[in-house]
Chain A
Amino acid sequence: MGVKKPSLGALLLALIPFVAMCFSVSLWDRIQPMIFGLPFNLFWLIAWIVLSSLCMWAAYRVEVARDKKDSKAP
């Protein structure tokens, strides 16, 4: 169907939230140390909701920059 494949940079940026929130679960699934009164695992996930959004913002910049470059190329 000829759609554009995502760039490697964007894919790598998207891998970060997957590693942090999913694959590394056994490293952060603990109660101590409690931070801001929250168990560590809950604090970790809330922090990564915000950080994931930042990662995807970066991925967005990467994709936009690539699209611009592509449209300039002959």
Chain B
Amino acid sequence: MSPSAVSLSTIFVIVAIGVAIGFLAGVHRKMDLEQWTVGGRGFGALLIFLLMAGEVYTTFAFLGASGWAYSRGGPTLYIMAYLTLAYVVSFFILPQIWEVGQKYGMQTQSDFFSTRYGNKYLAGFVCVVGIASFIPYLQLQITGVGIIVSIASFDGIGRIPAMAASVVLLVAFVFASGVRAVAWVSVLKDVLMVFAAVSIGIGIPYIHFGGIGPMFTALAHSHPAHLTMPGATINLGHTWFISTVLLTSLGFYMWPHAFGAAFTAKSGDTLRRNAVVMPLYTITLAFIFFVGFTAVLVVPGLPNGDLSLLTIVRKSFPPWFLGVIGGAGALTAMVPAAIFLLTAATLFAKNLFRPIFAPAMTDDQVAKLARVMVVVLGLISLLLAIYKSATLVGLLLTGYAGVTQFFPGVVLGLFWKRVTMPGVFAGMIAGVATVIFLLLSHRDPLYGWSAGFVALCLNFLTTALVSRLTPAIVLPE
């Protein structure tokens, strides 16, 4: 067999095993809307942990983090800081979110806003921003699969057909299985991912330099500026680091699927204990960085840093091993993408379309509309992946600039009695408008500050100011 046939068939077998696990988990269960989207609420602590952990390692961590280590250098370290601090933040908000969710029977993030602020348009706006923020995150996963297949085929298969095929497979997978299946496939995905990261993180520096230490010594000698900030960039310095770490660590649990997962936990205490242990999970990222940094010296001059991890794996290992890493990477893209598609499509049908446009819709009709939306959102992300190129990290930061605008509404809603609906609505509009303006006019970063963080500050100020000027609302008891 040719090398490309070996690596591609290995990837195919790994993805097929993943899909089979998904189908088996979905069998014997009637797939109504509730089962499909929230797994019938019968999730134990283990499945919650898997869903939450499954969200950490997406293609972003795999190809994106190494891609930035290769093309940007030092600024990539923000990823390690933000993931750790995101769990620190979660310690103080998730148990409270769980508690009010329990008290008022909430199922989604949009329910939180409509219960706390009593306005369906605010809740609808939250859905629109959430869905819009998911699109770059989905585009990121699809771009990742395109990269994996084209490198594993030794450039025999183009990225566009590979991305199109992955979207078809993804939609079929989501239709057939639902969220419970996705949680179980993420077990396989995470085991493979940790194995892949550790083996290449140690193996690749060892093969080319005899160890991690000698690799860094060589890199510090030949590229003295690469390992610190701003690295290979001109504007990603310490101000950018601080503002981006704040933006993304505060925004981590504002993603609708992550926020919603908190409602399904067994108790608030489970979530707190999760926050103590989860930071340790981010150590694996160090190994991914090792690969990206080694690639600077071994495969210089790539047109796109996101290609660096797989290019150096292809150069260092036999084709079957490239297939194993590629298969791990493909699942790492498809499992989160399935979660995002499910969450975004359900948000559209159940929390946006029905309450605002068609209150008479039955659950069956909502489920049908959600399935249509899975296809629509998949296609939009595919088109963007084909026509608009950006680095994987750049795509994720765009999504974060959107979802973090929920943070003031959530935190003040939990802890400040005086916050009002017009305050939160005005703040969120100010924040989102600022993000759209700064991103479309290419002003990110703005004088060294992350654009999303600038918008978040404006959002906080507007929320507090307008809340002071409007009458307090009577809280639901």
Interface residues of chain A, those whose CB is within 8 Å of chain B, are: 1-6, 10-11, 14, 17-18, 21-23, 25-26, 29-31, 34, 36-39, 41-42, 45-46, 48-50, 52-53, 55-57, 59-60, 63
Q: Which of B74, B213, B272 contacts A37 (CB 8 A)?
A: B213
In the complex where A30-B228, A37-B216, A39-B227 touch, is A6 in contact with B77 (Cβ < 8 A)?
no
In the complex where A1-B413, A21-B85 touch, is A41 in contact with B216 (Cβ < 8 A)?
no
Q: How far is the CB of A56 from chain B (nearest CB, A)?
A: 5
Once the chains bind, are B99 and A14 in contact (CB under 8 Å)?
no
Q: Does B300 contact A (CB under 8 A)?
A: no
B212 to A, closest residue via Cβ: A37
Once the chains bind, are B220 and A31 in contact (CB under 8 Å)?
yes
Q: Is the interface of A mostly helix, strand, loop or mixed?
A: helix
Once the chains bind, are A21 and B216 in contact (CB under 8 Å)?
no
Interchain CA distance A37-B216 in the complex, whole Å: 7
Q: Which of B77, B103, B475 contacts A42 (CB 8 A)?
A: B77
In the complex where A31-B224, A39-B227, A42-B77 touch, is A56 in contact with B286 (Cβ < 8 A)?
no
13 residue pairs of the A-B complex, CB under 8 angstroms, read: A3-B100, A4-B96, A17-B85, A25-B242, A34-B217, A37-B211, A37-B214, A37-B216, A38-B216, A39-B220, A45-B80, A56-B91, A60-B276
Interface residues of chain B, those whose CB is within 8 Å of chain A, are: 74, 77, 80-81, 84-85, 87-88, 91-92, 96, 99-100, 103, 116, 211-214, 216-217, 220, 224, 227-229, 238, 241-242, 245-246, 249, 272-273, 275-277, 279-280, 282-283, 286, 289, 413-415, 475-477
In the complex where A1-B414, A3-B100 touch, is A53 in contact with B277 (Cβ < 8 A)?
yes
Interchain CA distance A34-B242 in the complex, whole Å: 23
Q: How far is the CB of A71 from chain B (nearest CB, A)?
A: 13
Interchain CA distance A30-B96 in the complex, whole Å: 39
Interchain CA distance A6-B84 in the complex, whole Å: 19
Q: How far is the CB of A35 from chain B (nearest CB, A)?
A: 10
Interchain CA distance A60-B88 in the complex, whole Å: 11
Once the chains bind, are A18 and B85 in contact (CB under 8 Å)?
yes
Interchain CA distance A8-B183 in the complex, whole Å: 36
Q: How far is the CB of B280 from chain A (nearest CB, A)?
A: 5
Once the chains bind, are B92 and A14 in contact (CB under 8 Å)?
yes
In the complex where A41-B228, A45-B77 touch, is A52 in contact with B84 (Cβ < 8 A)?
yes
In the complex where A29-B238, A39-B216, A56-B87 touch, is A1 in contact with B100 (Cβ < 8 A)?
yes
Interchain CA distance A34-B99 in the complex, whole Å: 46
Residues in A neighbouring B216, C-beta threshold 8 A: 34, 37-39
Once the chains bind, are A41 and B212 in contact (CB under 8 Å)?
no
Interchain CA distance A50-B148 in the complex, whole Å: 32
B281 to A, closest residue via Cβ: A49
Interchain CA distance A31-B275 in the complex, whole Å: 30
Once the chains bind, are A31 and B213 in contact (CB under 8 Å)?
no
Once the chains bind, are A52 and B279 in contact (CB under 8 Å)?
yes
